Amino acid sequence: MGNKINRVVLVGTGAVGCSYAYSMINQGIAEELILIDVNASKAEGEAMDLNHGMPFAPAPTKVRSGTYQDCGQADLVVITAGLPQKPGETRLDLVDKNAKIFKSIVRDIMDSGFDGIFLIASNPVDILTYVTWKESGLPKERVIGSGTTLDTARLRYMVGDYLEVDTRNIHAAIIGEHGDTEFAVWSQASVGIETLAKVLDRRNNPEDKAKLDEIFVNVRDAAYHIIERKGATYYAIGMALTRITKAILSNENSILTVSSLLEGQYGHEDLYIGVPAVVNRGGIREVIEIDLNEEEKAKFDHSAKVLKELITKVYS
């Protein structure tokens, strides 16, 4: 922290990491982007390839491969390393394998003297963000998970597509675990500055309710649908991570559904879970506790319970 330039270290130059790096250089968000992977030669090759596109970028980004020592001078470390979901495997199946990998990566990063912000994307993201917080000893606001940022984007895209309204005017969120127990907060959704309920009243289309239910299922199961077809998901998460990075480095105070530590909000504590939060240069400024109806509260409680059980599994 306190550098004159924005320096980001990316750990994991697989499909997600490289999509993030590609999106970052295309938006010119950081002055320096350092790539680390257990496969050092892949990180090196990716840095070369990305640098060769620099004449076409909106601003220069110095991309190079590096080692964990480079984290000592980093403002932000983004982790996308780990094993991806295999067809038919849930994100939670990955927990044991990726928790072990994470403990060792976080140790190496902290040994460099790192004192910036962590942004975690590897799955199961809520658990691995909690592991990063525990293992790093950094304050909770400086450990952030991508949470349901991608799921929220999927929801906004699909609802906008259905209603034929610019997705950026759809204000709706998926919260909870980034996984099978997540849910849409329909009770608080709006289209532009009108509530979704009002828009649906006006449309008076008997198909809307079933269609929105179907949209939610497609959002929740999107990773499975994409993995079945192309083996992995990476472009949209790369853009979501870039969005969060920009909110941090540009001190935006943006509201994003990131994985944040709860300390009593929503009636839960000692777990990371996707909730709306204000994100700025200090990390998570605050968790926003939105009103949930009874059904949504029950879904949140269930999601939190599933995550708590996994945390207990990792730390028993």
The residue number whose beta carbon is nearest to ligand NAD equals: 14
Q: What share of residues in the chain are helix, strand, coil (percent, to 5)?
A: 50, 20, 30
Closest to ligand NAD by CB, 100 vs 313, is 100
How is residue 189 written in tokens? 């959704």
Q: Least CB distance from residue 189 to ligand NAD, whole Å?
A: 21
Q: Is 226 in the site for ligand NAD (CB under 6 A)?
A: no
> Which among 26, 18, 74, 20 has a CA at the least distance from the CA of 47?
18
Q: Is 181 in the site for ligand NAD (CB under 6 A)?
A: no
How is residue 242 written in tokens? 């870039």
Closest to ligand NAD by CB, 6 vs 233, is 233
How is residue 24 written in tokens? 């970052």
Q: Is 85 in the site for ligand NAD (CB under 6 A)?
A: yes
Q: Is 310 in the site for ligand NAD (CB under 6 A)?
A: no
| Window 54-83: contact mask with ligand NAD (x via CB under 6 A) | --------------------------xxx-
Q: Is 123 in the site for ligand NAD (CB under 6 A)?
A: yes
Q: Is 132 in the site for ligand NAD (CB under 6 A)?
A: no
In terms of phi and psi (left: phi > 0; alpha: psi -120 to 50; beta: otherwise), the region of 14 is beta
| Window 265-304: contact mask with ligand NAD (x via CB under 6 A) | ----------------------------------------
Closest to ligand NAD by CB, 116 vs 124, is 124
- Collapsed DSSP state (helix, strand, coil) of residue 270: strand
Q: In whole angstroms, give the CA distance from residue 272 to residue 143.
A: 10
The residue from 171, 178, 268, 302 that is catalytic is 178
In single-letter form, the type of residue at position 221 comes to D
Tokens 């994003």 belong to: 256
> Which among 257, 261, 191 has a CA at the least distance from the CA of 219?
257
Among 7, 8, 12, 272, which residue sits at the site for ligand NAD (rule: CB under 6 A)?
A: 12
Q: At what angle do helices 15-27 and 40-51 cross, to 10 degrees?
A: 30
The residue range among 228-236, 250-258, 274-282, 293-301 that interacts with ligand NAD, by the rule CB under 6 A, is 228-236
Among 37, 70, 126, 135, which residue sits at the site for ligand NAD (rule: CB under 6 A)?
A: 37
Cα→Cα distances 42→65, 66, 109, Å = 9, 11, 20
- Collapsed DSSP state (helix, strand, coil) of residue 101: helix
Catalytic residue status for 178:
yes
Reply yes or no: is the peptide bond before residue 206 cis, omega within 30 of 0: no
Number of residues engaging ligand NAD in binding (CB under 6 A): 29
Residues that bind ligand NAD (CB under 6 A): 11-17, 37-39, 42, 80-82, 84-85, 101, 105, 121-123, 125, 146, 150, 178, 232-234, 237
Residues assigned a catalytic role: 178
